[in-house]
Chain A
Amino acid sequence: MRNNLDVIAAYSIMLGLIILVGFLQSWSMALSILCLCLISAVMTIGANIQWGYAGLINFGIMGYTALGGLAAVLVSAPPVEDAWKAGGLDMLLCAFIIFSMILIIRLVLQKFNKSKNRNYIIAAVIIAGLILLRLISAPAIESIEAINPATTGFLGGMGLPILFSWIVGAFFAGGLAYVIGKIALGLRADYLAIATLLISEIVIAVIKHEDWLSRGVKNVIGLKRPVPYEIDLQGKEWFINLVQKFHQGSLNLISDNLERQQALKQLVIESSTVFVKLCFAGLFTTVVILLLIVTQKALYSPWGRMMRAIRDNEEAANAMGKNVVKQHLLIFVLGSAIVGIAGAMMVTYDGLFTPGSYRPMRYTFLIWVMVIVGGSGNNFGAILGGFAVWFLWIEAAPIALFLINFFTSGLEETNALKVHLIDSIPYFRFLMMGVGLLLIMRYRPKGILPEKINRV
């Protein structure tokens, strides 16, 4: 019970902080922080499964996030029929060639014994396949990208509701994780970290520069939302009534009828953004709670105990007959799939897909800070970490401004040092992240909410 009190206290403080932002800054701001906190919570759940349950370092998070985002585009964007006519068949043919290349290589690997000749055959298949791909895809890509490049210039998606993409994104990311896991999981921990980081850079480079697939750095905008649009809401009778009811007291204070109408209109506009964000927050909370239930169940199941055994002593677990390699691969795929969901959620929330903004070097480490600060191995901790770190990341600037003003209150406004410090406020967030991480690693290495292990 005492432990649970920790959790409740930590979450109440966090919610209190967000509500404080609502009062001090604006409710719209507080809700967008909440939404992004929820999205990062999903990511940290994914990373925590890999690191906390199994001790695998995965720095490829941004790669999966980007793939999840790509899934959102491919599922919900309307199909571009002209582009399909121009080059769709050729691209499908390319996919088929890649597929058959993989099949042939697998066949060669199975049929022949390990030898130099086998390597030569595989190399020949790959080179021939690449040349063939290049010959077929180059004209097709050119004709696809030539179709109305200002608005489309890509194959488009399937035009389905964007909520489907949350599942598709999970499958995309899981599939990529399967491939990466097969390649890299045998490596030692910090090696795996670097390898996954580099692979995620490759994935993002591909998404950024294959315009026929994702429009690349030209971005895909105007993806359909699963929640109502502000502009529609503002015209709805029930919504205006709702706002009126909510603000009855303050509206009644205004005596002039015309002025009251004006004030109501202003309130409706403000409330519509809040309402939309509330809808998003509701959707995201559902996802977080579902994931939390599933992961908690998994953690306390025999499977979870086995994962911990593998994490704490691989050799012993292996000796007990647990297939370490297979379980590592499984958990690598599962965790990455969850990160993929977060990627799709993020694009859903933004309504646009901007491959240029996925910067692995920046955000991967941030998410890792979340997991470690929150408490690896404890799902509640990981989610709390996602909330706390994202909150600090956004609110660092106001806090830094306050602190600088406080400490330099003796100096004049035009003092060079003070001006310089105030100019560089955005960078204090790095300092806070770094110092926070170092302090937590030193004095509370298991995180704010440490892992709980029930002794039998």
Chain B
Amino acid sequence: MDFLNAIILLLNYLFVPALSYGSQLALGAIFVSLIYGILRFAYFTAGDLMSFGTMFTILFTWYFQSLGINLGFLPTALIAIPFGIIVTIFYVLLKDKLVFSYYRTKKSPPVMLAMVSIGTMFVTQAIVRIIIGPFDRRFFDGEKFIIRANEFKEMTGLNEGLAIKSTQVITLFVTIIVVSILFWFLNKTKTGKSMRAYSDNEDLALLSGIDPKKVVMTTWVIAAILATVGGALYGLDKSFKPFTYFNNMLPIFAAAIVGGIGNPFGAFLGGYVIAFSEILLTYAYKKFFVYLLPESLEPDGLLQLLSTDYKFAVSFSILVVVLLFRPSGIFKGKVL
């Protein structure tokens, strides 16, 4: 019984939160990685693009709520996401046309493009803050929990409760759907294959008649979709605050690099690596061992490897270690 309690404890405080946080990071990391692979620069607007998409999702959610449209026990935001995606696609394509295409045709060095993306980062931040403001916003409605902690306790008779929020399940489902469509697209369709070819060897791809404009456009569209979905899921699960999204850029980059930048599948796994290590290393294991060990061996301290203050620092340290020993990432991306 104690053993089961210990397992449930870990599931509740470690596994489930890490899984949903990891999915949200993974969505961001995939598009950062794609942009890096195909457009060949570090896209510093990543976090703010996510907040841009989320902002429009929230605006549409409010609009639908005012019309009285809802999905019952599911959050209204789910119908708003496609509209948010459309606006975000327009925004990134416009940005590409006005800003990035100039440097691409000039074949500027990647550093230049990264700096330009800092410029668009500032602009996007300004747009988001001017339209919706810098404050914390919650836009979740519908049923909050799938299983409540005390319901679970009653059902199983265990001491430990397992609470599963509906947003966590939605996050997981949506991520699985989006990511499997994406990988099907990249691996099976002609456009996806041409994108991979372009990423592998630009000159050869151009020689074999691949249209670079189409490849670039598809990349931006995918980026906008992933950014909006990832951002909206994060906002549903936690809350929407532009500055938090901006800061999330760091773990997203960490995930993309750990997974091997330029390799979308690596980035996908990288998201989970970062999320799990952040939570595993800062969790206090005291209660877990209280269940498992006999009373005489009960631990005194919290048995926390690192205090939660260092949550962010954990993922960055992992990144530094990976950079030191495997500069191309765990799952071999482009060798840099």
B130 touches A434 (CB 8 A): no
B residues less than 8 Å from A441 (CB atoms): 112, 115-116, 119
A189 and B118 contact, Cβ closer than 8 Å, known pairs A194-B253, A431-B130 = no
B312 touches A193 (CB 8 A): no
Query: Quick one: closest B residue to A435, CB to CB?
Result: B123
Query: Quick one: closest A residue to B128, CB to CB?
Result: A427
Interface string of B309-336 (1 = CB under 8 A from A): 1101100110110011001000000001
A residues less than 8 Å from B130 (CB atoms): 421, 424, 427-428, 431
B316 touches A202 (CB 8 A): yes
Q: For the complex, give the distance between the alpha carbons of A434 and B129 in Å.
A: 14
Please tell me if A183 contacts chain B, counting CB pairs below 8 Å: yes
Please tell me if A338 contacts chain B, counting CB pairs below 8 Å: no
Please tell me if A269 contacts chain B, counting CB pairs below 8 Å: no
B residues less than 8 Å from A303 (CB atoms): none
Contact of B111 among A186, A189, A430 (CB under 8 A): A189
Contact of A431 among B116, B123, B323 (CB under 8 A): B123
**Which residues, 401 to 452 on A, are CB-close (under 8 Å) to B?**
421, 423-424, 427-431, 433-435, 437-438, 441-442, 445
A residues less than 8 Å from B125 (CB atoms): 427, 430, 434
A430 touches B116 (CB 8 A): no
**Which residues, 36 to 86 on B, are CB-close (under 8 Å) to A?**
41-42, 44
Please tell me if A197 contacts chain B, counting CB pairs below 8 Å: yes
A438 and B99 contact, Cβ closer than 8 Å, known pairs A57-B111, A202-B317, A368-B115 = yes
A365 touches B118 (CB 8 A): yes
Expressed in whole angstroms, the minimum distance between the Cβ of B173 and any Cβ of chain A is 31
A residues less than 8 Å from B250 (CB atoms): 197-198, 201, 361
**Which residues, 88 to 146 on B, are CB-close (under 8 Å) to A?**
99, 102, 109-112, 114-116, 118-127, 129-130, 133-134
Contact of B115 among A195, A372, A423 (CB under 8 A): A372
Q: For the complex, give the distance between the alpha carbons of A421 and B127 in Å.
A: 11
A residues less than 8 Å from B19 (CB atoms): none
A residues less than 8 Å from B307 (CB atoms): 209
Please tell me if B254 contacts chain A, counting CB pairs below 8 Å: yes
Expressed in whole angstroms, the minimum distance between the Cβ of A192 and any Cβ of chain B is 10
A residues less than 8 Å from B291 (CB atoms): none
Please tell me if A300 contacts chain B, counting CB pairs below 8 Å: no
B residues less than 8 Å from A421 (CB atoms): 130
A424 touches B129 (CB 8 A): yes
Expressed in whole angstroms, the minimum distance between the Cβ of A123 and any Cβ of chain B is 12
Contact of A183 among B41, B261, B320 (CB under 8 A): B320
Please tell me if A206 contacts chain B, counting CB pairs below 8 Å: yes
Contact of A205 among B112, B123, B309 (CB under 8 A): B309
Please tell me if A208 contacts chain B, counting CB pairs below 8 Å: yes
Q: What class of interface size applies to chain B in its complex with A? A: 35 or more
Number of interface residues of A (CB under 8 A): 42
Contact of A209 among B309, B320, B323, B336 (CB under 8 A): B309
Q: For the complex, give the distance between the alpha carbons of A71 and B241 in Å.
A: 34
Please tell me if B180 contacts chain A, counting CB pairs below 8 Å: no
Please tell me if A6 contacts chain B, counting CB pairs below 8 Å: no
Please tell me if B187 contacts chain A, counting CB pairs below 8 Å: no
Q: For the complex, give the distance between the alpha carbons of A209 and B102 in Å.
A: 45
Query: Quick one: closest B residue to A434, CB to CB?
Result: B122
A residues less than 8 Å from B126 (CB atoms): 427-431, 434
**Which residues, 237 to 272 on B, are CB-close (under 8 Å) to A?**
246-247, 249-250, 253-254, 257, 261
Contact of B320 among A195, A427, A442 (CB under 8 A): A195
Q: For the complex, give the distance between the alpha carbons of A81 and B231 in Å.
A: 50
Please tell me if A188 contacts chain B, counting CB pairs below 8 Å: yes
B residues less than 8 Å from A186 (CB atoms): 327
Expressed in whole angstroms, the minimum distance between the Cβ of A369 and any Cβ of chain B is 7
B119 touches A187 (CB 8 A): no
A438 touches B119 (CB 8 A): yes
Q: For the complex, give the distance between the alpha carbons of A206 and B316 in Å.
A: 13
Query: Quick one: closest A residue to B111, CB to CB?
Result: A189
Query: Quick one: closest B residue to A364, CB to CB?
Result: B118
B102 touches A434 (CB 8 A): no
Query: Quick one: closest A residue to B106, CB to CB?
Result: A445
A187 touches B323 (CB 8 A): yes
A193 touches B247 (CB 8 A): no
Contact of A190 among B111, B123, B127, B129 (CB under 8 A): B111
Please tell me if A199 contacts chain B, counting CB pairs below 8 Å: yes
Contact of B123 among A184, A202, A372, A438 (CB under 8 A): A438
B116 touches A209 (CB 8 A): no
A residues less than 8 Å from B312 (CB atoms): 201, 205
Contact of B310 among A193, A209, A369 (CB under 8 A): A209
B residues adjacent to A (C-beta < 8 A): 41-42, 44, 99, 102, 109-112, 114-116, 118-127, 129-130, 133-134, 246-247, 249-250, 253-254, 257, 261, 307, 309-310, 312-313, 316-317, 319-320, 323-324, 327, 336
6 pairs, CB–CB < 8 Å, chain A vs chain B? A189-B111, A198-B316, A202-B317, A205-B309, A208-B309, A427-B129
The 4 closest A-B pairs by CB, nearest first: A434-B122, A434-B123, A431-B126, A430-B126
Apart from A191-B323, A361-B250, A428-B126, what are 14 other A-B pairs with CB-CB below 8 Å?
A183-B324, A187-B336, A189-B111, A189-B114, A193-B42, A198-B250, A201-B313, A209-B307, A365-B121, A424-B133, A427-B125, A429-B126, A430-B122, A437-B118
